């Protein structure tokens, strides 16, 4: 029942985010993918869950300017395109992990 | 001729004394302090993680005996103290060691009465306690705690009202009794922020937060703004209440806020005339639910007229009838809760472990 929580949230490179989880797993998120996965109400339609953010409106070199904790269950990311309303829960971040182990071939991408 | 008593021998003997809650011996837990061996006289201090430790006296006696039976020891002096462990450093309230919301699924389960009595029970053990009434819609803490004065403001901070040794802040201080708070989410979030950051809480071992019932904006704001030590969920024993209480537990689990345990309020009624026990709302429901959900069960509080009248009169039962079985029940629950907090903080899978290096 206890969901994994991050032990460390840092950079994988200049722009991308790396999370080391407390169960040993490691996730590397491409900054742009993470931005497009923003779960906030202006990016995702609340009732249907349909994605409404226009990928073309997000600059390809979008990257986090800062990351802060929300309580003890989530993080908030201040993006370079000015967006910051999304609350990324640990649960959701783990689900988004793009590594081959979490996303076996054929199921890649979200 | 007795062998010389050494510190090492004493520590070895004390390693046999275990803290039943933390599951380790008091030496490796670092509880033993100021050990002094002067010939046949041994003195030491045991520093517990809470003054509300349920096994305080038992542990003291056990430690004394372990050392007293060592060859060469004539006199043993054990001093008990406590140092409440902080849950994690957080920027918003640096002086507050533990923040404990008291929640319920549905209203009317006696959450505010339980919150006030828990705060007073913790304070009675010697802990520094605050009580934040976050029930904006029906703030009843001022009535229950018998507070008539308004909090003062110093600079841009609000000073909590100190009553019966507990620092209190409530929405009730800022509105007229005949006014209603009809607020949307963002305003509730703002109020929570004010009650946390805008109030001069000072140093506290425990800040008990009386939440409104349910799983709404106030709960979410509180969980978002500050890392909480763990929530306590109050329920009455009947099925319909337990079912809703489970939703509150699910909310905290989703927000990664630990659940310290469940309290069963109005558990049973003892007739003052014939002393027969009547289970008005059935009994034991919270305990069974806690077992099923694998969370600790903190204890039962009976239903009693004195409970209601003491709350209405502004002198909660822990204070007005400190030796009554009702007050005893609260002391037990407070001790169990403090023990759960100590366990959490010692084991620590805590927010401070999350490092952000971006």
Which residue positions in chain B have pLDDT lower than 50?
Answer: 349-351
Which has more pLDDT, A107 or A92?
A92
Q: Give A79's strand partners.
A: A64
| CATH numbers and ranges of domains, chain B | 7-82 (3.30.300.130), 99-353 (3.40.50.300)
A73–B294: do the CB atoms touch at under 8 Å? no
Looking at residue B75, what is its pLDDT?
94
Instruction: Report which DSSP code applies to B84.
Output: P
- Model confidence at A9, in pLDDT bands (50, 70, 90)? very high
Q: At what angle do helices B7-14 and B56-68 cross, to 10 degrees?
A: 140
User: Could you tell me if A17 lies within 8 Å of chain B, comparing CB atoms?
Assistant: yes
Q: Which residues have CB under 8 Å from A73's CB, separation 6+?
A: A89, A90, A91, B223, B254, B255, B256, B257
| Beta strands per DSSP E along B256-343 | 259-270, 277-278, 297-303
Looking at residue B66, what is its pLDDT?
95
Report the half-sphere exposure of B111 (CA within 13 A, side-chain side). Answer: 30
Inform me whether the pLDDT recorded for A89 exceeds 90: yes
Taking a C-beta distance cutoff of 8 angstroms, is the pair B27, B66 a contact?
A: no
Looking at residue A110, what is its pLDDT?
45
User: Could you tell me if A7 lies within 8 Å of chain B, comparing CB atoms?
Assistant: yes
C-alpha angle B236-B108-B149 in degrees, rounded to nearest 5: 125
On whether the pTM is more than 0.90, the answer is no
A9–B354: do the CB atoms touch at under 8 Å? yes
Looking at residue B224, what is its pLDDT?
85
Alpha carbons B298 and B286: distance in angstroms, whole number: 10
Nearest to B342 by CA among B253, B239, B265, B230: B230
Looking at residue A1, what is its pLDDT?
46
Taking a C-beta distance cutoff of 8 angstroms, is the pair B71, B3 a contact?
A: yes
ipTM confidence: 0.75
Alpha carbons B211 and B183: distance in angstroms, whole number: 16
Inform me whether the pLDDT recorded for A33 exceeds 60: yes
List all residues of chain B from 59 to 118 with a beta carbon under 8 Å from chain A.
none
Alpha carbons A80 and A58: distance in angstroms, whole number: 10
Looking at residue A10, what is its pLDDT?
93
**SS3 label, residue A78:** strand
Alpha carbons A110 and B333: distance in angstroms, whole number: 47
C-alpha angle B314-B316-B321 in degrees, rounded to nearest 5: 120
- Structure tokens given for B25: 């011996």
- pLDDT above 90 coverage of chain A, percent: 72
Nearest to A67 among B224, B350, B356 (CB): B356
Inform me whether the pLDDT recorded for A109 exceeds 60: no
Nearest to B325 by CA among B310, B304, B339: B304
Task: Rounding to the nearest 10 degrees, give the CA dihedral for residues B333, B335, B336, B340.
Answer: 130
The helix (run of H) or strand (run of E) holding residue B189 is helix B185-197
Looking at residue B294, what is its pLDDT?
93
Q: How far is B221 from chain A (nearest CA, A)?
A: 9
Residue located via tokens 């021998």: B9
Inform me whether the pLDDT recorded for A76 exceeds 50: yes
Residue located via tokens 């909090």: B151
End-to-end CA distance of chain B: 66
Looking at residue B178, what is its pLDDT?
84
Looking at residue B183, what is its pLDDT?
87
What are the backbone dihedrals phi and psi of residue B295, each rounded to the nearest 5 degrees, phi first?
A: -120, 155
| CATH numbers and ranges of domains, chain A | 6-96 (3.30.2020.30)
């Amino acid at each position: 029942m206890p969901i994994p929580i991050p032990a460390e949230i840092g950079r994988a490179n200049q722009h991308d985010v790396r999370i080391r989880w407390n169960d040993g797993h490691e996730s590397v998120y491409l900054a742009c993918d993470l931005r497009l996965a923003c779960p906030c109400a202006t990016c995702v339609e609340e009732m249907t869950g349909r994605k409404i953010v226009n990928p073309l409106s997000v600059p390809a070199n979008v990257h986090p300017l800062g990351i802060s904790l929300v309580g003890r269950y989530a993080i908030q990311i201040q993006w370079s395109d000015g967006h910051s309303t999304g609350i990324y829960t640990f649960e959701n971040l783990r689900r988004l992990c793009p590594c081959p182990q979490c996303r076996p071939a054929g199921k890649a991408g979200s | 001729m007795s062998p010389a008593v050494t510190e090492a021998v004493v520590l070895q003997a004390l390693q046999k004394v275990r803290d039943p809650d933390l599951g380790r011996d008091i030496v490796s837990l670092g509880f033993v302090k100021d050990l002094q061996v002067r010939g046949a006289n041994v003195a030491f201090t045991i520093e517990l993680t809470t003054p509300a430790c349920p096994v305080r006296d038992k542990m003291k006696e056990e430690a004394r005996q372990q050392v007293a039976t060592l060859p060469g020891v004539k006199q043993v002096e054990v001093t008990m103290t406590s140092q409440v462990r902080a849950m994690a450093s957080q920027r918003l309230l640096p002086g507050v060691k533990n923040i404990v919301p008291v929640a319920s699924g549905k209203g009317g389960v006696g959450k505010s009465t339980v919150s006030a009595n828990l705060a007073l029970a913790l304070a009675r053990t010697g802990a520094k306690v605050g009580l934040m009434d976050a029930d904006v819609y029906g703030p009843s803490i001022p009535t229950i705690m018998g507070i008539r004065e308004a909090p003062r403001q110093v600079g841009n901070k609000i000073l909590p009202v100190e009553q019966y040794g507990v620092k209190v802040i409530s929405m009730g201080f800022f509105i007229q009794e005949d006014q209603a708070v009809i607020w949307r989410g963002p305003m509730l979030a703002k109020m929570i922020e004010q009650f946390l950051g805008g109030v001069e809480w000072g140093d506290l071992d425990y800040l008990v937060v009386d939440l409104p019932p349910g799983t709404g904006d106030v709960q979410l704001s509180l969980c978002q703004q500050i890392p909480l030590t763990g929530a306590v969920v109050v329920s009455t024993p009947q099925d319909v209440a337990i079912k809703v209480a489970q939703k509150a537990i699910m909310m905290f689990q989703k927000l990664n806020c630990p659940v310290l345990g469940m309290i069963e309020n109005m558990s049973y009624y003892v007739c003052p005339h014939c002393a027969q026990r009547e289970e008005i709302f059935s009994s034991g429901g919270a305990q069974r639910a806690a077992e099923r959900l694998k969370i600790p069960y903190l204890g039962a509080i009976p239903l009693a007229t004195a409970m209601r009248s003491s709350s209405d009169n502004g002198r909660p039962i822990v204070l007005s009838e400190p030796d009554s079985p009702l007050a005893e029940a609260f002391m037990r629950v407070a001790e169990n809760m403090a023990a759960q907090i100590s366990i959490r903080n010692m084991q620590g899978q805590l927010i401070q472990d999350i490092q952000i290096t971006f």
